[in-house]
Amino acid sequence: MMNRIIIFALSVLLFWGFLSFGQNDTSCKVLLESIVEEYSGNCKNGYAHGQGIAKGVDKYEGRFKKGLPHGSGKYTWSNGDYYEGRFKKGNKHGKGSLYDFSENEKTKGIWKNDKFLREIKEKPYKVHRKIGIAGVSFYKDELLTPHRIEFVFQRDGVKTTMLDDLYINAVNGQFYNSGSFCGFENVIFPFEATIEFSAPNKFNTVMNQYELKFEITEHASWKVIIRY
């Protein structure tokens, strides 16, 4: 009987503790003046520590340490600008993205102690899926007609057309496949395509299946070299 009473009492305490977690706690201090008015989240020794949300003139949601943003989080200013990334002792520190609401522009870069060090340039292409493909290279080709994408298939560094069941699905553009050109014209960016085909292995003993899904975001003419 005594054991049941103890278990019940512990359950009640845990229940009330769960209800109180995440509610505003005025005894849990946030040390950044712009977000001190309201806080919900984890505390340690009277300070925001761990995951939490703090509001004031601005808003911050993310990790805290000893009352300050520290770790991964998102800080939103009252004018709609925001920074999302790494913090250290309340300052932008590490990789992150700064969004300018008025210009509708986002800058990805590296910060140190709230100072911007350098921009991180993203590649204008991305491979989403690659099955059986040894490698893919993307080259801007000034000799191609504008808004044109050419596919070149290579085996052991040599261009080849020994492909079976070639299937190419793209979001836009006009597809052509002749002896001299395989690809799309009149494409609109961002351009995304999925390529599937089968081809014999290097020993010509078995047919393998290959698949490539990629995206190109920059307006240009491109040559995509697919090695298998």
Alpha-carbon span 175 to 188, nearest angstrom: 13
Domain locations in the chain as residue ranges = 24-119, 125-227
Say if CB 90 and CB 83 are below 8 A apart: no
Task: Give pLDDT, residue 49.
Answer: 98
- Least trusted range by pLDDT, from 8-12, 22-26, 129-133, 159-163: 8-12
Alpha-carbon span 43 to 38, nearest angstrom: 13
**Per-residue pLDDT at 11 exceeds 70:** no
Continuous H helices in the chain: 2-20
Say if CB 81 and CB 75 are below 8 A apart: no
* Token pair listed for 119: 């921009």
Q: How confident is the model at residue 61 (pLDDT cuts 50, 70, 90)?
A: very high
Nearest to 225 by CA among 144, 160, 136, 161: 136
Task: Give pLDDT, residue 125.
Answer: 96
Task: Give pLDDT, residue 3.
Answer: 46
Strand-pairing partners, residue 106, are 99
- This prediction has a pTM of 0.57
* Token pair listed for 188: 């609109």
Q: Which range in 60-69, 101-110, 174-183 is most confidently predicted, on average pLDDT?
A: 60-69
For residue 50, give the H/E element and its range.
strand 47-55
Number of alpha carbons in the 13 Å side-chain half-sphere of residue 55? 4
Nearest to 138 by CA among 123, 156, 122, 158: 123
Q: Which CATH number fits domain 24-119: 2.60.120, 2.40.50, 3.40.50, 2.20.110?
A: 2.20.110
Nearest to 148 by CA among 62, 216, 92, 46: 216
The number of angstroms, rounded, from the C-alpha of 23 to the middle of its chain's C-alpha atoms is: 31
Average per-residue pLDDT for the chain: 89
Alpha-carbon span 132 to 125, nearest angstrom: 20
